[in-house]
Homo-oligomer: A and B are copies of this chain.
Amino acid sequence: MIGIGDDSAVFEATGNTIVAATDALVEGVHFRSDWSSPSDIGFKAVSVNVSDIAAMGARPKWLLLALCAPPETTDEVLRGLYEGIGEACVAYGTELVGGDTVRAPQLTLAVTAIGELEGQPVRRSGAEVGDVLAVTGPVGRAAVGVNLLLSQDAKDASPEDAIACMSAHRRPRARVDAGVQLQQVAAHAAIDLSDGLGPDARRMAEASRIGIEIDLGRVPVAPEAGRIATARGWDIERLVLGGGEDFELLVALPHEQLEGTDWIEIGRVVDDGLWLVRDGQSVPLPDEGYDHFRT
- Name A's B-contacting residues (CB within 8 A): 2, 5-26, 28-30, 51-53, 55-56, 58, 62, 64-66, 68, 97-100, 102-106, 108, 110, 112-115, 117, 121, 123-125, 190-192, 207
Given contacts A2-B121, A29-B104, A102-B30, contact A18 B22 (CB under 8 A): no
Check A28 against B105 for contact (C-beta < 8 Å). Answer: yes
> How far does the Cβ of A127 sit from chain B's closest Cβ, in whole Å?
13
Check A10 against B6 for contact (C-beta < 8 Å). Answer: no
> How far does the Cβ of A97 sit from chain B's closest Cβ, in whole Å?
7
A52 vs B105: C-alpha distance in the bound complex, in angstroms?
25
Check B104 against A22 for contact (C-beta < 8 Å). Answer: no
Check A112 against B10 for contact (C-beta < 8 Å). Answer: no
CB-defined contacts of A102 to chain B, threshold 8 Å: 23-26, 29-30
Excluding A22-B66, A24-B68, A64-B112, 4 further A-B contacts by CB distance (< 8 Å) are A7-B55, A8-B19, A10-B19, A26-B102
Q: Which of A7, A22, A24 has the most CB of B within 10 A?
A: A7
